[in-house]
Amino acid sequence: MKTLYLHIGTPKTATTSLQMFCVDNQKLLNEKGYTYPILDFQYPHVALRRNGHFLVGKLYKDKDEEDVEKEIALWNRGLDLIHTEFERYDHVILSDENIWHASVGQSFSFWERLKEDAKQQGYEIKIIVYLRRQDGMANSWLSQQIKEGWNKSAFVKWNNYKKKPDKIKLDYYSLLEKIAGVMGKENIILRVFERDKFKGNGNTIFSDFLEAMGLEYTDEYQIKNEEANQSLTGNSQEIMRIMNSLLPDNGSMRELLRRAAARCEELKDVDNHFSMFSKEEAERFMAKYQESNDRIAREYLGQDEPLFGSQIKDDEVWTPNNRFMYEDIIRFLGNIIIEQHQRILDLRDDVKNLKDSRIQAVRTYMEEFEAENPDAGKEEKYITLSESLINQHQDVEKAVRMGEKMEEADNRMHALSVNDQILKDEITELRNEIARIRAELKAVERDSMLFRVRRKINTIRNNKNA
C-alpha cells in the first residue's frame, strides 16, 4: 500500500541533518520507490527542506491578523503535491520538526484532515518521532531559539528559563496519546535519540531513520552534513542571546553573528565545557517525567527498561561569569572583525578592478570610435562617449552604496560594549579603513572620465553660444 512517512521531530533530534540527507540522496531514494519532494512555495524563516511544514504552517497579513485563506490554499497545494508524487512512487517522505509542538495547540486539527485525505486517496500514514531526554531537549531547544534570533524566546536568560520551560512539550506521553487517539498507536514509529539506541546498518541516526521506513543503509548513500545544525552552548549561547537584543530585522546581519558564534563554539578551549544543569537540578528535572517516560517505554516500545539512559554527569555548572567568558567574547568579536575586514579588502579589489576596466573600456571605445568616424568633431566624440559612460558611472554609484552599507555595519559594531582595549583599537582601525575606502570611492567618482567629459561638453556649448 502507498505510504506517507511523516517525520514530526521532535526538535533538536538531528532533524536538519535527516532532511538534508534525504535531499542529498533523492535520486537513490527514487530508485527504491521513495521520494522526498521539495515544495514550490516557502514560509518565512522556514527552509525549503522542511517539506512537511505546510501541514501546520502559519501565515499573517500583518503582525496580528492570521491569513487563514492563504494557509488553506498552501495546505491544498501541498496535498496536491503528495497526490502527484504517489502517482510515481509508493512512498512519500515529509519532515518538519515544528509539527510536534504545533500539535499541542489549535493546529492539532490537521491530523483529522490529513487522515481524511489519506482515506480518500488510498494511502496510509506512518508517523516517525524521535524523543530526547527532557533535560537535553530543554537546553537544546532554547539554544536553537537564541541561534535563530528572530522570536521572543531568543532573549530569554537560561537561569529564568530552566525554572519553567513551558514553551515546549516535555510530557511526551500525553501528546503521543493524543496523536495516537486519531492516527492509531500502531502507526506511530517511536525512536529514542541516543547514540547507543540507533538501529540499522552502522547504528547511526541515518541508518536508524532509513530502518524506520523499511530501508537499509548502504555505502550508496551520501552523508554530506552529519551535523548540519550545530548547537550553541554556554558562553557562545549567552553572547548570541545578548547580541539578539541589538540586532535589526536584517537576515544578513543575523547570519554574520551566527557564523561568529558558531566559530567561537568550534575554537573554544578543550576545558571550556559546562553543564547547564547541576546534577541535582537535572535529577529533579527528570523526576517530573519519570512516570510518563516509563509508560512510553512499556506501551510504545514494549520494554521494561527505562526509556532513556539514566547517567547524569556531575560537570561544572555554567555561569555567565565563568573563567572562559572573557576569551570567548574576544574570540566572538575577533571573528566578526576578521570577516568584516576581509569583506572590505574584497570590496576594495572590486572597486580597483572596476576603475581599471572602465579606463581601459574608455580607451578602447575612443580608439574604435575614431577608427570608424575619422571625420567626427570633438563635440560629437565627447557626447557619444558621455552616453557610453553613464552605465559605468552607475556601477561606481553602486560601489559607493556598498561602502555606505559597510559603514553602517561598522557603526553597529562600534555600539557594542567592549571592555578590552585591544578590541577597541581594532574596531577603530576597522572604522578608519572603511572611511578611507569610502574616500577612495568618492575620489573615483569625482575623477571619472564622465565628469571630465561633461565639463568639456559644457565648455564647447558655452563657446558656441557665445
Regarding beta strands 91-95 and 34-35, do their DSSP bridges make them parallel or antiparallel, or are they unpaired? parallel
Q: What sign does the CA torsion over 129, 133, 138, 141 have?
A: negative
Q: What's the confidence (pLDDT) of residue 325?
A: 95
**373 vs 259, which has greater pLDDT?**
259
Query: What does the pLDDT look like over 290-346, one tens digit per residue?
Result: 999 999 999 999 999 999 998 888 889 999 999 999 999 999 999 999 988 888 898
Q: What's the confidence (pLDDT) of residue 240?
A: 92
Does the structure show a pLDDT above 50 at 417?
Answer: no
User: If pLDDT is split at 50, 70 and 90, which confidence band does 415 have?
Assistant: very low
Domains of the chain: 3-301 (3.40.50), 328-465 (1.10.132)
**432 vs 4, which has greater pLDDT?**
4
Q: Are 366 and 456 in contact (CB under 8 A)?
A: no
Q: Which residues contact 399 (CB under 8 A, 6 or more apart)?
A: 347, 350, 351, 354, 441, 444
Q: What sign does the CA torsion over 392, 398, 399, 401 have?
A: positive
Q: How far is the C-alpha of 402 from the C-alpha of 342, rounded, in Å?
A: 14
Does the structure show a pLDDT above 80 at 397?
Answer: no
Query: What does the pLDDT look like over 113-165, one tens digit per residue?
Result: 999 999 999 999 999 999 999 999 999 999 988 988 877 888 899 988 888 88
Of 202, 344, 328, residue with least CA distance to 264: 328
Does the structure show a pLDDT above 50 at 109?
Answer: yes
Query: What does the pLDDT look like over 178-219, one tens digit per residue?
Result: 999 999 999 999 999 999 999 999 999 999 999 999 999 999
Q: Are 154 and 51 in contact (CB under 8 A)?
A: no
User: If pLDDT is split at 50, 70 and 90, which confidence band does 391 have?
Assistant: low
Does the structure show a pLDDT above 80 at 220?
Answer: yes
Q: What's the confidence (pLDDT) of residue 91?
A: 98
**265 vs 389, which has greater pLDDT?**
265
Q: What's the confidence (pLDDT) of residue 416?
A: 42
Q: Which residues contact 224 (CB under 8 A, 6 or more apart)?
A: 20, 24
User: If pLDDT is split at 50, 70 and 90, which confidence band does 396 have?
Assistant: low
Amino acid in the structure at residue 151: N
**34 vs 251, which has greater pLDDT?**
34
Q: Average pLDDT of the chain?
A: 84
Q: What are phi and psi of 6, to 5 degrees?
A: -110, 105
Q: Classify the phi-psi angles of 58: left when phi > 0, otherwise alpha if psi is within -120 to 50, otherwise beta.
A: beta
User: If pLDDT is split at 50, 70 and 90, which confidence band does 422 have?
Assistant: very low
Torsion (CA) 393, 396, 397, 400 in degrees, nearest 10: -160
Amino acid in the structure at residue 318: W
Q: Are 328 and 236 in contact (CB under 8 A)?
A: yes
Query: What does the pLDDT look like over 33-85, one tens digit per residue?
Result: 999 999 989 898 899 999 999 999 999 987 778 999 999 999 999 999 999 99
Partners of 3 in the beta sheet? Answer: 91, 124
Most confident option among 216-225, 367-376, 439-448: 216-225
Q: How far is the C-alpha of 64 from the C-alpha of 238, rounded, in Å?
A: 30
User: If pLDDT is split at 50, 70 and 90, which confidence band does 418 have?
Assistant: very low
Q: Considering the entire predicted model, what is its pTM? A: 0.73
Sheet order of strands, 124-131 included: 34-35, 91-95, 3-7, 124-131, 188-192
Of 128, 232, 248, residue with least CA distance to 189: 128
Q: How far is the C-alpha of 33 from the C-alpha of 143, rounded, in Å?
A: 37
Does the structure show a pLDDT above 60 at 408?
Answer: no
